[in-house]
Structure 1
Amino acid sequence: MASHNDLGRKGEALAKAHLEATGYEIMDENWCHGKAEIDIIAYKNKQIIFVEVKARSGNYFGEPEDFVDKRKQKLIATAAGEYIYLMNHQGEVRFDIIAILIQREGTHRLNHIEDAFWPAGQ
């Protein structure tokens, strides 16, 4: 397995642990619709939160959250729309990013960005 896949899995596990520790209920993980995947779908305060997790081993080329571009946001929004429809959710939704820098020595820095984006056209 490629090391970037291991990094991604570790990042998602750290993000899930963070969300659970701060009172979020995890509804789904790695939920797919078409070509889009939503890393974590959580619920808190009657709101569904669609979470994109970005884990990197360094920030030489930018912070992890910088890699959630408009194309990725649109894919997430499309999948989120389908999820909302299937769940018949009538409440509010939010799009978050959890950016994680994982150091070689095993430490990490986690940045939970609430309301990180609202996809255009939504």
Structure 2
Amino acid sequence: MAEHLDTGKQGEDKATEFLADKGYEIIVRNYRYRHAEIDIIAKKNKILVFVEVKTRTNLSYGMPEEFVDATKRRLIMKAAENYIFDRDWHGDIRFDVVSVIINSGTVKVHHIEDAFY
């Protein structure tokens, strides 16, 4: 597996662990709809949360969360719309970003709630 894919999987694993420790119920990971993927779908306090995870080992180009651009947000929202429709969900939803920085054996996780609409 390519190194960047290993880093991404490691970041998603750390984000999943972080959310679970915060009381989130992890529903599904890597939900796909057409060309879109939602890294983590979780539930907390009757809110369905769609989570994009961004992982970096180097901050030369900026913070991980800065890489969730408008195109990525649109794709995530489209996949979320499909998930909501398929499951006939009528409750509240939220879109979060979890930023993971892995550097020299240390891991920093930053959770941004309600990151976009």
Fold shared per TM-score above 0.5: yes
Say how many residue pairs are matched. 117
Shift of 1:35: 0.1
> Which residue of structure 2 aligns with residue 41 of structure 1?
41
Q: Percent identity, aligned pairs only? A: 48
Given the two structures, how large is their TM-score scaled by the length of structure 2?
A: 0.98
Partners of 2:58 and 2:94 in 1: CA distance: 27
Question: Superposition pairs for residues 1-122 of structure 1, below 5 Å?
Answer: 1-103=1-103, 105-118=104-117
**Paired letter, 2:75:** L
In structure 1, the residue corresponding to 2:114 is in which secondary structure? Answer: coil
Equivalents in 1 of 2:22, 2:107: separation in Å? 18
Structure 1 residue 92, shift from structure 2 partner = 0.6
**Cα offset, 1:40, TM superposition:** 0.2
| Structure 1 stretches of at least 4 aligned residues deviating more than 3 Å after TM superposition | none
Q: Which runs of 5+ in 1 are unaligned?
A: none
RMSD (Å), alpha carbons = 0.5
